[in-house]
Amino acid sequence: MNIRIVLVLVSLVLSLVTGIVLSRGGSSGSTAKGKAKGKVVIGFSMDTLKEERWQADKRMFTEKAEALGAEVLVQSANSDDVRQVQDIEALISRNVDVLVIIPHNAEAMATGVEKAHQVGIPVISYDRLIKNADVDLYISFDNYRVGEEQAKALVALLPGGKGKIIRIYGAKTDNNAAQFKEGQDRIILPLVKSGDIQVIHEDWTEGWKPENAKRITQAAIAAHGTSFDGILASNDGTAGGAIQTLTEEGLAGKIPVTGQDAELSACQRIIAGTQAMTIYKPIHVIATAAAGLAVDLARRKPIIARTAVPNGKGDIPTNFLDIQVVTKDNMRDTIIRDNYHPEAEVYKGAAK
**Number of residues located near ligand BGC, criterion CB under 6 A:** 11
Cβ 351 to ligand BGC shortest distance, Å: 29
Indicate which single residue of 4, 104, 128, 300 sits in contact with ligand BGC (rule: CB under 6 A): 128
**203 binding ligand BGC? (CB under 6 A):** no
8 A C-beta contact, residue 154 and residue 130: no
Cβ 175 to ligand BGC shortest distance, Å: 8
8 A C-beta contact, residue 266 and residue 259: yes
Within positions 142 to 201, which residues make up the interface with ligand BGC, using CB under 6 A? 170, 174, 176
User: Half-sphere exposure of residue 130, counting CA atoms within 13 Å on the CB side?
Assistant: 29
The residue ranges of DSSP E strands in the chain, in sequence order, are 41-46, 71-76, 98-101, 123-126, 137-141, 163-169, 197-204, 230-233, 278-280, 307-310, 315-321, 324-326
Cβ 250 to ligand BGC shortest distance, Å: 28
Cβ 105 to ligand BGC shortest distance, Å: 11
Cβ 50 to ligand BGC shortest distance, Å: 7
8 A C-beta contact, residue 349 and residue 268: yes
Decide: helix, strand or coil at residue 350: coil
Cβ 72 to ligand BGC shortest distance, Å: 20
Whose Cβ is closer to ligand BGC: residue 97's or residue 174's? 174
> What backbone phi and psi angles, to 5 degrees, belong to 312?
95, -25
- For the chain, the 3-state helix, strand and coil shares in percent, each to the nearest 5, are 45, 20, 40
Whose Cβ is closer to ligand BGC: residue 11's or residue 278's? 278
Within positions 65 to 104, which residues make up the interface with ligand BGC, using CB under 6 A? none
The residues with which 326 forms a beta bridge, in sequence order, are 278
**53 binding ligand BGC? (CB under 6 A):** yes
Within positions 258 to 277, which residues make up the interface with ligand BGC, using CB under 6 A? 260-261
Within positions 287 to 346, which residues make up the interface with ligand BGC, using CB under 6 A? none
Binding mask 224-243 for ligand BGC (x = CB under 6 A): -----------x--------
Cβ 240 to ligand BGC shortest distance, Å: 11
Q: What angle do CA 153, 139, 115 make, to 5 degrees?
A: 135
- Backbone dihedral region for residue 253 (phi beyond 0: left; psi -120 to 50: alpha; all else: beta): left
Decide: helix, strand or coil at residue 126: strand
Indicate which single residue of 44, 144, 208, 340 sits in contact with ligand BGC (rule: CB under 6 A): 208
8 A C-beta contact, residue 42 and residue 294: yes
**127 binding ligand BGC? (CB under 6 A):** yes
Whose Cβ is closer to ligand BGC: residue 163's or residue 259's? 259
8 A C-beta contact, residue 296 and residue 274: no
Whose Cβ is closer to ligand BGC: residue 185's or residue 206's? 206
The Cα 29–Cα 286 span in angstroms is 26
Per CB under 6 A, residues contacting ligand BGC are 51, 53, 127-128, 170, 174, 176, 208, 235, 260-261
